[in-house]
Amino acid sequence: MQQKTAIIIGASSGIGRALAKELVKNQYKVAILSRRVELLNELKAGNPSNYVAKYFDITDIANIDILLDNITKELGSIDLLVISAGVGHSITDKIVNFELEKKVIDTNVMGFTKVVIWAYNYFIKQGKGHLVIISSVAGHRGSKNSPTYSASKAYQMNFIEGLWHRSYKLKLPIIITDVRPGFVKTAMAKGDYIFWATSAENAASQIYKAIRKKRKVIYVTKRWFIIALLLKILPNRLYKLG
């Protein structure tokens, strides 16, 4: 049986790195992509025959198609593409800094969209494929501390849902999974105590199970579905007190 192949964008740390390990453990050959190549090479050293490490900047819109085309040629084909790259920050001043917010948009919206469209069209031409995005529970509601981040995650969730419905209506051979984590113990999750936080390894295990089951939407961990539901129904007069 031919070995399955995957691309993970944002594989140098956190969920992306843990998921790369999980896929290799389950017999995938994985192209791991990030700007931090030194961290990718550390990961590759543990299993050099099953990793392909490449520099990739998701904000470099002009070169995304070329880079992904070349990586695909090296792998031969792609069964799975995961977008785990993302940035966010909290506003600590009364003044909102456009340049800081633009960095979030460039990564979580512009770069994200470019990669999703490339993968979507590639899978149509190939006749099969599975696209996985790592969005966030934060996308369900606006955040006073990180409004651009929550807005960008809402965009991701809605954009990918639209493509899912398009694929279903047109009977396209594409599986799409939206992973909505709560708090995961990564560099982005800061603080002494993080509510209901799980490890990146546990998150990766749950994501891999969702990939195998071809799930449309999952929450990581599962109990974050409760928080998502509350965010949807909580009236503004109560939500704004949080």
Give per-residue pLDDT as tens, 158-200.
Answer: 999 999 999 999 999 999 999 999 888 866 554 444 666 789 9
pLDDT in tens, 21-67: 999 999 999 999 999 999 999 999 999 999 999 999 999 999 999 99
CATH number at residue 27: 3.40.50.720
Going by pLDDT thresholds of 50, 70 and 90, the confidence category of residue 87 is very high
pTM for the model stands at 0.92
Q: Which domain holds residue 146?
A: 4-239
Average pLDDT over the chain, rounded to an integer: 92
Would the pLDDT of 137 be above 90? Answer: yes
| Domain count within the chain | 1
In this prediction, residue 67 carries a pLDDT of 97
**Do the Cβ atoms of 135 and 180 come closer than 8 Å?**
yes
**Which residues, including other chains, have CB under 8 Å from residue 195's CB and lie 6 or more apart?**
182, 183
- Give SS3 for 94: coil
Q: If pLDDT is split at 50, 70 and 90, which confidence band does 6 have?
A: very high
CB atoms within 10 A of CB 68: 23
Which one has a higher pLDDT value, 192 or 100? Answer: 100
Give the pLDDT score at 192. Answer: 47
Per-residue pLDDT at 223 = 87
Q: Give the pLDDT of residue 228.
A: 79
Task: Report the SS3 class of residue 132.
Answer: strand
* Count of beta carbons in the 10 Å neighbourhood of residue 2: 7
